[in-house]
Amino acid sequence: MKNQRTNPPRQGAASTANELPPEIRPGQSLELLKELHILTRDGKLNQDSRRKLKQVYHLYQFIEKLLLELSEAGSAVGGLTLADHGAGKSYLGFILYDLFFKQRSTGHIYGIETRPELVEKSTALAKQLGFARMSFLNLTVAQSAQSGQLPERMDVVTALHACDTATDDAIAFGLQKRARFMVLVPCCQAEVARVLNQHKVLSLQRTPLSELWRHPLHTRELGSQITNVLRCLYLEACGYQVTVTELVGWEHSMKNELILARYTGQKKRSAAQRLRALLEEFGLKELLHTRFTHLPDNAAEAHLPMSDHAHGAGHVDKSAP
């Protein structure tokens, strides 16, 4: 035991330990992690960075499987395309590029972000690291759907903690771009809670279920739950197979719900019917023509003047695709 204490550690072992904390995936660029301030300049991880990296890595594992599946199927002519909405500092996009796209000669990642200073920093970092097939666009999610800077088709759409209705906009983007996969981690859903609040008095008179959102805290929590349920039904109605799971343990993040959607083309009529029924039950019918315009039996109605929506909300257009 005495000799073990006095013998100094091997130089190589000490150097490796300093350069590569055990949480870091093999092949990961340490320069990138330092530029993203996940690693300190001396290669250390603090607790906040460790938690953040754990979330991104866990999400990467899900997305990597989808990208490999698309690559093996050879379905992406000209290379895989991925749109990362609400990119922020683009932790996810950079790590995806570093661990997956960098080893391939084709494929492109598009980071969509509304804050111009973050877009500028990400653009500069991509250039510094030689990540040539990364583009960062100063657009809202809704604007990006109409932008000529993105391709007409998108293989994978991601939205990690895109706040409130930005997740709904990402879903609308994915539907328009005919995305093969969508990977969504919703955050801070408030729209449904606002609508529930607006009609609370009428709801209390109409149904005992309104006790579920009588108190403001319950309104917020129930609104968040209903929002994600409606999103899943919407995706199923539009031809996606949906899986809902946890991203990481609740001790790492309270915004922890992961929605994985795979396009199959099998549009579930029952999902559309249940979605409409829930909107009716919770007094949320006004969302039908703002959030769920791609429903197969809603396409014709979506173009009606707003004054006609109330009269047409229950009508099913048999001629709609």
Q: Which letter, b or e, does each residue of 84-100 get, where b requires 16 or more Cβ atoms within 10 Å of its Cβ?
A: bbbbbbbbbbbbbbbbb
Domain CATH number, residue 122: 3.40.50.150
Residue 76: the pLDDT is 56
Sign, Cα dihedral of 132, 138, 144, 148? negative
293 in any annotated domain:
no
The half-sphere exposure of 16 on its side-chain side, counting CA atoms within 13 A, is: 7
Total domains present in the chain:
1
pLDDT by 10s per residue, the chain, length 321: 444 444 444 444 344 445 567 889 988 999 999 999 999 888 888 888 888 888 889 899 999 999 999 998 875 567 999 999 999 999 999 999 999 999 999 999 999 999 999 999 999 999 999 999 999 999 998 899 999 999 999 999 999 887 778 899 999 999 999 999 999 998 877 888 888 888 887 777 788 888 888 898 888 888 889 999 999 999 999 999 999 998 765 544 456 789 999 999 999 999 999 999 999 989 899 898 889 999 877 654 444 333 333 333 333 332 333
In the DSSP assignment, the letter for residue 152 is S
How far apart CA 269 and CA 296 sit, in angstroms, is 8
Residues in the chain: 321
162 in any annotated domain:
yes
61 in any annotated domain:
yes
Residue 5: the pLDDT is 46
Q: Are the beta carbons of 236 and 243 closer than 8 angstroms?
A: no
56 in any annotated domain:
yes
Residue 44: the pLDDT is 86
Q: Are the beta carbons of 133 and 109 closer than 8 angstroms?
A: yes
How far apart CA 74 and CA 61 sit, in angstroms, is 20
Burial of 284 (0-12, 13-18, 19+ CB in 10 A): buried
Q: What dihedral angle (degrees, nearest 10) is formed by the CA atoms of 299, 305, 310, 313?
A: -10
141 in any annotated domain:
yes
Residue 142: the pLDDT is 87
122 in any annotated domain:
yes
171 in any annotated domain:
yes
How far apart CA 72 and CA 68 sit, in angstroms, is 6
Provide the domain limits for residue 54: 26-188
258 in any annotated domain:
no
Query: What separation, in Å, do the N-terminal and C-terminal C-alpha atoms of the chain show?
Result: 78
> Strand (E) positions, the chain?
81-85, 108-113, 134-138, 156-163, 181-187, 240-246, 257-263
